[in-house]
Amino acid sequence: MHKRHHLIFTCLLLLFFGLFLFTPPALGAEETQEPIDRDFTHYLNLGVSLLDQENYLDSITAFQKALEISSDSAEVHLVMGMAYDGLGQYEKAIFHLKKAGQLSPQLSDAHVNLGLVYLKMDNVDEAIKTYYDALMIDPVNEKAYFGLGVAYQRMGRYEEAIDAYSEAIMISPAFSDAYNNLGIALSHVGLYEEAITSYLIAIKIRPDLSEAAYNNLGITYQSVGQDDKAVEAYTNAILLDPEYTKAYCNLGHVRQQKGNYDEAMWAYQEALKIDPAFADAHYGLGNAYGSTGEYEKAADSYLLAIRHNPKDARTYFNLGWSYGKLGQLDKELDAYNQAISLKQDYAKAYLGRGLVYLKNGHKDMARQEYDVLKNLDAKMASSLYELLNQ
């Protein structure tokens, strides 16, 4: 969401030059060096300030001026790499971060930030290697362990992610983001109570900046059937960030599960006011309309969801279901075909397609769907078989 990865550096670089005490030329060099030092520090600190403000272009301009004065400054290459990262210019970011590491081999933060860039490029293997490089330099770098956890989590290696986040927390017990991500990893391995505890600690550490933790807490409460607590958690997330579309969408989902369809529709619509292209909110709104028998509105919502996310098989299936309720069998069949093209083992879509064939009197084609279903879902296959033999 709106989380920012900032590493704020106060960089003061002192350049030492030899002084030849009784040689006039050397005294002249000393007299001109001091303003050069001041200019370098000025541009470096200016760039860091602009970087903190996310003014990446102007920060790069300042860093370039600093490099004109001292081209071998590891600190400048580090922060310039971070600025290019902020602009999404990852190849340039990699160049400067690697240069920083070459100029200052003990600068572990160069590797940490390089790992972050690799993660953004979905080069997870390289990110893991880079984070381990950082830990070889600084074994107690909590940011390196945190990045390692993110990388493992992205690969679905949740146990290793849990270990990495736990290491980060041992080094920095007030690392709220590590507690939040630890909660996510714990949820993935079914340790819901531990996940809830982790989210609550993250919230306690940073109560005013915990919208993501509240949202994740709500998801976990839903997983254990504590819907009222989930509603409270999502509401707290929205209070902290009134434009948190995921929290609105999740609030709509839990309201819908409890049969509060009007409240669910309101939540989805609030999310769409903020982000009209939010496919999950269109999908949820379609489900709410379908639950209240408003099938045309449901179909329209699913079509909007597909416009913004054309690769979601479940939306095509639900679109087909809504067309079926409207008696539009050709459109229903087309939607199921699209769902199956996106998800080859989508049992519900094969069943739906078989039912359409039966409605159209094509028993032979329905039987072909049954043959597929036997290998996907025995219960659904049995249901279709009974209809075939009526």
Q: How far is residue 184's CA from residue 218's CA, in Å, rounded to a whole number?
A: 12
Q: Is the pLDDT reported for residue 358 higher than 70?
A: yes
Q: Is the pLDDT reported for residue 83 higher than 80?
A: yes
List the CATH number of the domain containing 53.
Answer: 1.25.40.10
Q: Is the pLDDT reported for residue 4 higher than 60?
A: no
**pLDDT one-digit tens code per residue, 369-384:** 999 999 999 999 999 9
Average pLDDT over residues 175-185: 98
Domain count of the chain?
1
Average pLDDT over residues 311-332: 98
Q: Is the pLDDT reported for residue 385 higher than 80?
A: yes
pLDDT at 200: 98
Mean pLDDT (the chain, rounded): 91
Residue 320 lies in a domain: no
Residue 269 lies in a domain: no
Q: How far is residue 21's CA from residue 19's CA, in Å, rounded to a whole number?
A: 6
Average pLDDT over residues 271-293: 98
pLDDT at 35: 59
103 in Cβ contact with 72 (< 8 Å): yes
Q: Is the pTM of this model over 0.85?
A: no
Q: End-to-end alpha-carbon separation of the chain, Å? A: 53
**pLDDT one-digit tens code per residue, 8-61:** 222 322 222 222 222 233 333 444 445 557 899 999 999 999 999 999 999 999
Residue 296 lies in a domain: no
Own/partner pairs for 85-92, CB < 8 Å, 24+ apart? 85/113, 85/116, 85/117, 85/120, 86/51, 86/54, 86/56, 87/56, 87/57, 87/60, 88/120, 90/117, 90/120, 90/121
Q: Residue 19: how many CA atoms within 13 Å on its side-chain side?
A: 9
373 in Cβ contact with 347 (< 8 Å): yes
Residue 79 lies in a domain: yes
Residue 194 lies in a domain: no
Range of the domain at 105: 38-139
The CA-CA-CA angle for residues 251, 255, 261, to 5°, reads 125
Residue 104 lies in a domain: yes
Split at pLDDT 50, 70, 90, the class of 68 is very high
**pLDDT one-digit tens code per residue, 185-208:** 999 999 999 999 999 999 999 998
pLDDT at 36: 59
